[in-house]
Amino acid sequence: MRPLGALLVLVGVALLLRSTALSALAARGVVVDVLAFATAMWALRYGESWGATFGFVLGLAADLDAAHWMGRHALLLALMGYAVGRLSRTLVRDSARTQLVLLAIATLTHQVWSAAFELDRLESWPYLLQRVLVAALLTAPLGTLLLSLLRRASGQPLFGHAVLESGPSS
């Protein structure tokens, strides 16, 4: 039950951040993709089952909160959670370099997917491309920095324990 409670709390926090501080930043062109970050980190810690579940729940909640058809975020974040969870078995999860690359790929994928739905006119692609790149360039280092700070604060590796590797579903 513990991961379920943590999942709901993290979903709430991610959505709260997205609709407040991050949305104010996004209006100024500073896009930080908290959905991709939260999904990737959760999947990295708890594996593919919980990663997919977290991605689906977070995506569905984000879809409900937005004015577009549902399923858009849910589909990609569920796939992303699953993929990152599968990759986490073979990666050095506490390496900052791994986290940086994973976050950059996750953000790029999520942003490109979201931008694909907004590409109604050919003239809008430079703006969307800029948004995708800015999001990836900001989210990856900021996320890595945040994880490094959390690791320092907790005094132990965030993802390294073998007990947590398989997650509650396995």
Partner 1 sequence: MGGFLPPAERRSSALLGLYTALSLLLLILGDRLPQASLRGVGAWIFAPIDRIVLTADRMAAAWHENQRLHQAVAELMIENQHLRAAGIENQRLREELGLPAYHGFTLRPVEVLALSGEAVPAAATLSAGTHQGVHEGDPVMTREGLLGRIGESYPTLSRVVLLTDLNSAVAAEVESTGVLGVLRFTTAPRPRLVLTSVPLADTVRIGQQVLTSGLSRRYPRQLPIGRVSRLGRDASGLMQDVEVEPFARLSRIRHAFVLVRPAAPGDHP
Q: Which stretch binds partner 1 (CB under 8 A): 11-19, 26-34, 94-102, 131-139?
A: 11-19
Cβ pair 99, 57 in contact under 8 A: no
For residues 42-61, which are near partner 1 according to CB under 8 A?
Answer: 47-49, 52-53, 55-56, 59, 61
Does residue 124 bind partner 1 (CB under 8 A)?
no
Say whether residue 74 binds partner 1 (CB under 8 A).
Answer: yes
Q: How many residues does the chain have?
A: 170
CB of 52 to partner 1, least distance (A): 5
In whole angstroms, the minimum distance from the beta carbon of 119 to partner 1 comes to: 16
Q: Find how far residue 133's CA is from the centre of its chain.
A: 16
User: In the numeric block, which tokens belong to residue 148?
Assistant: 């490094």
Binding pattern for the stretch 15-44 against partner 1, x by CB under 8 A and - elsewhere: xx--xx------------------------
**CA 34, CA 21: separation in Å to the nearest integer?**
11
78 binds partner 1 (CB under 8 A): yes
Number of residues that bind partner 1 (CB under 8 A): 31
Give CA–CA dist 23/28, Å, rounded: 9
Q: How far is residue 170's CA from residue 165's CA, in Å, rounded to a whole number? A: 9
